[in-house]
Amino acid sequence: MNLTPIVAGNWKMHKTPSEGASFIELTKNLLLDIEHVSVIFAPPFTGLFDLNVKPPFYSAAQNCHWEQTGAFTGEISVSMIRDCGAEFVIIGHSERRHVFGESDEWINRKVKAVLAGNMKPILCIGELLNQREAGQTELVLKSQLEQGLAGVEALENIVIAYEPVWAIGTGVTANANQVESAHSSVRNILKELYPESDTIHVLYGGSVKSGNAEELIQIPGVNGFLIGGASLDVESFASITRTVETVQLRTL
């Protein structure tokens, strides 16, 4: 199936609300004619409210809590995010897993909370360098998918993002064979869990930039990107998006 590619920019802890709003307006002006790519901006929580986006542009939160209300100082609920106009929530990013210690159980609760709130989770999975070197990549991906999606009946509103942890923010990009192999594994695992999973997006993330976007988007099984550093620069982010659009047009 020819899915409309997604290019999502995860700003992490960058950009004030005013900087983010300006960035989005500049990006939209550079991409006025984009029709065959869905573009997602994921600012910090402070920058989510009242963003002027409409399809093919969308907004996403970088995290959430699984409870709707309560004594959870510093946390944000799905309903709060939805009220800001966002449609997506990034869940289980490697920094949440390995810097903040989030477990697969927590990530699973968040995935189910996002779905229950009529929003779409972008579930991040990926292996550490020592796990790859030990030949455990597929085992890690299988475990993260099984546990992260436990109790989820269907995948129709879920996006998966494969991000090898060793390639995030390091300047090191997984080579084409590594990316294709990992995405093939993800697809096979999903097929076992959900036979009707062919219609969901599996994104790649890990030092994606304008110089390698064309090669990466043409790898079988890659349906778009979740971008970190390169999403902070207007020209770079717009260039990657336009590259994906150009490649997509060749397939139509």
Catalytic residues: 93, 163
Instruction: Give dist(CA 132, CA 205) in Å, integer.
Output: 16
Bridge partners (DSSP) of residue 161 are 124, 203
The counts of H helices and E strands in the chain are: 9, 8
The DSSP bridge pattern shows strands 202-204 and 88-91 to be: unpaired
Nearest residue to 222 (alpha-carbon basis) of 165, 159, 146, 140: 159
Continuous segment of H or E residues that includes residue 160: strand 159-162
Tally Cβ neighbours within 10 Å of residue 215: 15
Q: Please spell the DSSP secondary structure of 86-152, one letter per residue.
A: --EEEES-HHHHHTS---HHHHHHHHHHHHHTT-EEEEEE---HHHHHTT-HHHHHHHHHHHHTTT-
Q: Could you tell me how far CA 24 lies from the centroid of its own chain?
A: 18
User: Which residue shows structure tokens 């573009």?
Assistant: 39
For 25, what's the count of Cα atoms within 13 Å in the CB-facing half-sphere? 9
Q: Are 124 and 226 in contact (CB under 8 A)?
A: yes
Tally Cβ neighbours within 10 Å of residue 116: 11
